[in-house]
Amino acid sequence: MPHVSALPIVTPFVAATALVAIRPLARHWLDDLIAVAVAAAVIALCAVLLYRSGSQPVTYWMGGWRPSHGVTIGISLSIDPLGAGLAAFSAVLVLAALIYSLRYFDAAGGLYHALVLLFGGAMAGFCLTGDLFNLVVFFELMGTVAYALTAHRIEERAPIQGAINFAVTNSIAGYAMFIGVALLYARTGALNMAQIGAALDAHRADPLVVVAMAVLFAGFLTKAAAVPLHFWLADAHAVAPTPVCVLFSGVMIELGVYAVARLYWVMFAGPMHPHLIALRAILVAIGVTTALTGAVMCFLQRHVKRLLAFSSISHVGVFICGLGLLGHRALAGVAVYVIGHGLTKAALFLCAGVLLHRFATIDEFELHGRGRELRAVGIAFALGGVLLAGAPPFTLFAGKSLIEAAASGSGYGWLIAVFTVVSALTAGAVLRVAGRVFLGWGPASGPDPQQARAARERVDELRDAREHTPRTMVAVPVALLAAAIAVALIPGAVPAIERAAARFTDHGAYAAWVLRGAGVHWPAIAPSHVSFDDVLYGLLSSGGALALAALALFGAPLRASLPGSLRAGLATAVAGLRGLHSGHVGDYVAWWTAGASALGAVCLLALG
């Protein structure tokens, strides 16, 4: 059924226009109904595409403009299982965000619904398109919607500042991408990714190709929030409406990583083949820097949404490491991890939303012990922490094991230590919050009390009285956590993702099925098995998370026993790292320029 290929993109677009057109009617229930029904329909459409592309990938030439004499003249959707799966996953989170929003706040008469549906359509288009320019168009559309949603609480300063920082940095990323597109078009005369890849195969990696790759990667890594292009993320997540954070953290930033993977395997794998080892080192270095910076910053936060935002940066670092290993098994691991992380992080944000809804603050210390009455939310939050730690045998663990096995196989065994530290820190922070808020453990006051003010929100736009929490607001995170537990336990799910990743990384076959419509016979892939070591690492990171949480809650005497000079040194380092995240958009642009130029220079030196 290739006829439905365009519908996951077009249906939410049309529904968004309908929602705006019926605004004069002012029927909230109708807005809710349309939005939820369309989101559910998009999941079904993506599922059809996923099922269909599992046996044979689909190339859908828009307007029927097939390649003529070997030249692509139209735009194609090039649908493989990994792209279709990611589109389906984004649709699931869109539905979750919409259902949660039903009772969360007064959604501005359908405008909010319309923007969320546009966001969903843009993400689906981003996952399915086979055209480089079209990819950038959907990137821009995602951005335009996201900036507006971030500034939703317009009457306060922080949301406006967060949205402006987000818009400025991501627009610069957009310019970088356009430079890359222009360079590749000048070289190859093509915009279709498969055709660009086929044209580049004939050449070695000269400076034009290397620079084009570097600026495109810098652009998409900005969306992915790789250090030092990441500064916008925490500012935006801290202020955006909680259901929107689910989309930002759960799938939008992951799409940046997806784009880098897609561009590499379709376009640059040919000319980069002789430089595989150097490129691997560059990407892994970016990934490790991102993972560690994000993890440390995460542990330092007391604003729970900011904490979760830095945790997402940290996990993006893990994704970039997995992608950077440039092999199909590691990529499969990333895909599994993205699903597990997206569901878990979404659930954690939604639990934080319950706290915000109930108590009008999201500050860890102000909430000390106040979560006791919300037992189900507390259990869900703690469970989210345990899953995030990579506890066996759940989805995050399955993904991390695959990446770690691939890392050991390519001489990057030390990445396992990095991942363990990162998992322990990010999950430890979540467990610490769970202990303090829902059980009242640990001291009730902490450092930087001025942060508490930033964590309070005006709540008069919230729809319901705050004495009780609407049932949907608990049911959605619980359902997401159940999915995070279940996905990897479904027999055949992980091997199917491994097969999808193997197809995704087949540079030659992609060009054949996109450009020539050739039927492809994929070689069989032996599924990976979880080893004893994997379980050991999983238990280690979970134990580490518990230990760090306990240390943070009850370890004050232990910390006081450290020598004074060491404490002062640590405090200075922490203050320095925090100072970099200043909220000043000029700083962010300066760092972006530094990061992009460093990436370009290193690529030119190492890959030229």
Partner 1 sequence: MSRRARLGLFACAGPALAVVLVLGFRGLPAFGHYHGVYGLVVNGVELSLRHATDMVTALNFDLRAFDTLGEEFILFAAVTGVALLLRELRDESQRGSAADDGAHSFSGASDGLRGASLLLVPLIVALGVYIVLHGALTPGGGFQGGLVLAAGPLAALLAGRYLALKRLAPHAALEVLDALGAAAYALLGLGGLVFASIYVKNFLPLGIPGHLLSGGFMALNSIAVGLEVTGAFLLTWTEFLDQALLIRRRSERS
Minimum CB distance to partner 1 smaller for 106 or for 533? 106
**Residues 230 and 290: beta-carbon distance below 8 Å:** yes
Q: How many CB atoms lie within 10 A of CB 68?
A: 9
Minimum Å distance from CB 122 to partner 1? 8
Least separation in angstroms between residue 268's CB and partner 1 is 14
CA distances from 558 to 262, 379, 520, 567 (A): 48, 28, 61, 12
Report, in Å, the least distance between residue 155 CB and partner 1.
6
Contact 415, 407 (CB under 8 A): yes
**Min. distance of Cβ 292 from partner 1 in angstroms?**
21
Taking each helix axis from N to C terminus, what angle separates 507-515 and 193-201, rounded to the nearest 10 degrees? 120
The 3-state DSSP class for residue 513 equals: helix
In angstroms, the Cα distances linking 412 to 249, 279, 280, 404, 539 are 27, 14, 10, 9, 21
Picking from 120, 89, 324, 329, the residue whose alpha carbon sits closest to that of residue 217 is 324
Q: Least CB distance from residue 231 to partner 1, whole Å?
A: 11
Between residues 149 and 391, which has the closer beta carbon with respect to partner 1?
Answer: 149
Nearest distance from C-beta of residue 16 to partner 1, angstroms: 7
Residue number, 231 or 264, with CB nearest to partner 1: 231
Nearer to partner 1, 222 or 505 (CB): 222
| Alpha carbons 246 and 240: distance in angstroms, whole number | 10
Question: Residue 24, SS3?
Answer: helix
Q: In the block, which residue shows the tokens 């993006």?
A: 316
Residue type at 448? D
Taking the least distance from each CB to partner 1, the nearer of 141 and 424 is 141
User: Please, which residue, 60 or 319, has the CB nearer to partner 1?
Assistant: 60
90 vs 312 by CB, closer to partner 1: 90
Cα–Cα–Cα angle for 124, 310, 392, nearest 5°?
80
For residue 405, the minimal CB distance to partner 1 (Å) is 36
CB of 196 to partner 1, least distance (A): 12
Residue 192 is classified by DSSP as B
Taking the least distance from each CB to partner 1, the nearer of 562 and 594 is 594
User: Hey, what are 299's tokens?
Assistant: 């542990």
- Which of 204, 351, 364 has the alpha carbon at shortest distance from 275? 204
